Amino acid sequence: MKTESLILAGDIGGTKTKLALYQQVGEALQCVRETTYGSGGYSAFGGIVAEFLSGASSGVAAACFGVAGPVRDGRCQTTNLPWLLDEEELARSTGITKVRLLNDLQAMALGLLRLPPGEFVELNPEGRDGSGNKAVVAAGTGFGEAILYWDGRTHHAIATEGGHADFAPNTPEEDELLRYLRSNFRGHVSYERILSGPGLFNIYQYLRDRNEAKESPQLVEQLQVGGDPGQLIGQFGLENGDWLCRESLRLFVSIYGAEAGNWALKTLALGGVFVGGGIAPKILPALRDGRFLASFCNKGRFADLLQGMSVKVALNQNAGLLGAAHHAACLLP
């Protein structure tokens, strides 16, 4: 690729959309400019791209966007936004000849492979970095899962929609949570209804409606003025010691660990597990207190296998953007 060529990369989420321009210098990509947009403020993705490029798309040689939703035949109807993205339409509207859409977890998985060791926190002190597939799970506005398939020489990122599979409770308390959520979501309760920012609020409402404790007046006030429920619950649970929020985090972390273990088994993740997304770094003390790992390893006859797996939390929030940029670079000669 010519060094003067620019690459456009995007990480499109239900809450935020990040766009960045990169330039290749040798084997590395250097970020030239990056902007974050509130996704809900735009009726279509094209408006964000046009605003970001502001007529400068003639210097962009390739673009790749990681988007939260299934990509089929170069098109994606986003899961948590009313946007329909199309590679051909984006190429026409921007003048960029090479445009690709990836599932957001697929892009994140590619980016996670490129992060240095210092941008991870290990949750399993007995875990080892083995040779083999890697599993990726990520809770944010939604919940996603991806596979890094190992072919014996390198890893290949494979998209899935595993975050929308049926939630499977493991305790009587989780049985009650499932029954509670079924009444709200027409019978089908996916992991995303629990392992996401809105999902953490669903857990909170479940515990609140059981009348186990009174709500914090300060939290209620901040919710009423439009505060982000998931973020506030994490903050009040970790910093303020609020009982309902602390118990919501406990249940969230336990279920998160259990599903991460499920995904590690389904992908035979001998190479380890990556925990990405925006929530994990913000609740790191709760993830490190042992409950996540206990649920992760609680797999009966396969407990020993999971006890030896590395489970790393990614601290870098730009893994999806980085993965999309490197995939776009591969489109060029």
Q: Residue 103: which CATH number?
A: 3.30.420.40
User: Do 243 and 268 sit in the same domain of this protein?
Assistant: yes
Residue 267 has pLDDT above 80, yes or no: yes
Mean pLDDT value of segment 99-112: 97
Does any domain span residue 191?
yes
The stretch 257-279 carries a mean pLDDT of 98
Claim to verify: residue 92 and residue 163 sit in the same structural domain? no
Residue 291 lies inside a defined structural domain of this protein: yes
Residues 42 and 140 in one domain: no
Bridge partners of residue 35, in order along the sequence: 19
Asked if residue 290 is part of any domain, the answer here is yes
pLDDT at 260: 98
Q: Express as a percent the part of the chain with pLDDT over 90.
A: 88
pLDDT: which is higher, 80 or 96? 96
The count of other CB atoms within 10 Å of the CB of residue 234 is 21
Same domain, 152 and 253: yes
pLDDT of 274 reads 98
Question: What was the pLDDT predicted at 1?
Answer: 40
User: What pLDDT is stored for residue 55 in this prediction?
Assistant: 59
Q: Are residues 229 and 186 in the same domain?
A: yes
Q: Supply the pLDDT for residue 28.
A: 82
Clarify whether residues 247 and 160 are in a common domain: yes
Q: Are residues 258 and 305 in the same domain?
A: yes
100 and 25 assigned to the same domain: yes
pLDDT at position 46 over 70: yes
1 part of a folded domain: no
23: which residues sit within 8 A by CB, 6+ positions away? Answer: 3, 4, 5, 6, 7, 29, 30, 32
Same domain? For 228 and 285 the reply is yes
pLDDT digits over 213-254, tens only?
889 999 999 999 988 999 999 999 999 889 999 999 999 999
The residue range of the domain holding 240 is: 117-314
Domain holding 222: CATH number?
Answer: 3.40.367.20
Look at the chain and report how many structural domains it folds into: 2
In a domain, residue 33? The reply is yes
Q: Is the pLDDT of residue 290 over 60?
A: yes
φ, ψ of residue 163 to 5 degrees: the values are -65, -15
pLDDT band at 24 (very low <50, low <70, confident <90, very high): confident
pLDDT, one tens digit per residue, over 117-164 is 999 999 999 999 899 999 999 999 999 999 999 999 999 999 999 999
pLDDT of residue 211: 80
Whether the Cβ atoms of residue 328 and residue 21 lie closer than 8 Å to each other: no
Question: Do 254 and 180 lie in a common domain?
Answer: yes
Residue 50: how many CA atoms within 13 Å on its side-chain side? 10
Please check whether residues 263 and 206 belong to one and the same domain: yes
What's the whole-model pTM score?
Answer: 0.94
Q: Specify if 272 maps to a domain.
A: yes
Res 175: pLDDT: 98
- Cα separation, 214 vs 205, whole angstroms: 11
Q: What are the beta bridge partners of residue 107?
A: none
pLDDT of residue 81: 87
Q: What is the CA radius of gyration of the chain?
A: 20
Structure confidence at residue 170 as a pLDDT band (50, 70, 90): very high
Q: What phi and psi values does residue 54 have, to the nearest 5 degrees?
A: 45, 50
pLDDT of 27 reads: 75
- Residue 240 has a pLDDT of 87
Is 50 a member of any domain? yes
Q: What is the structure's pLDDT at 4?
A: 58
Residue 186: pLDDT band with limits 50, 70, 90: confident
* pLDDT score, position 332: 87
Let me know if residue 22 belongs to a domain.
Answer: yes
| 169 plus 233 within the same structural domain | yes
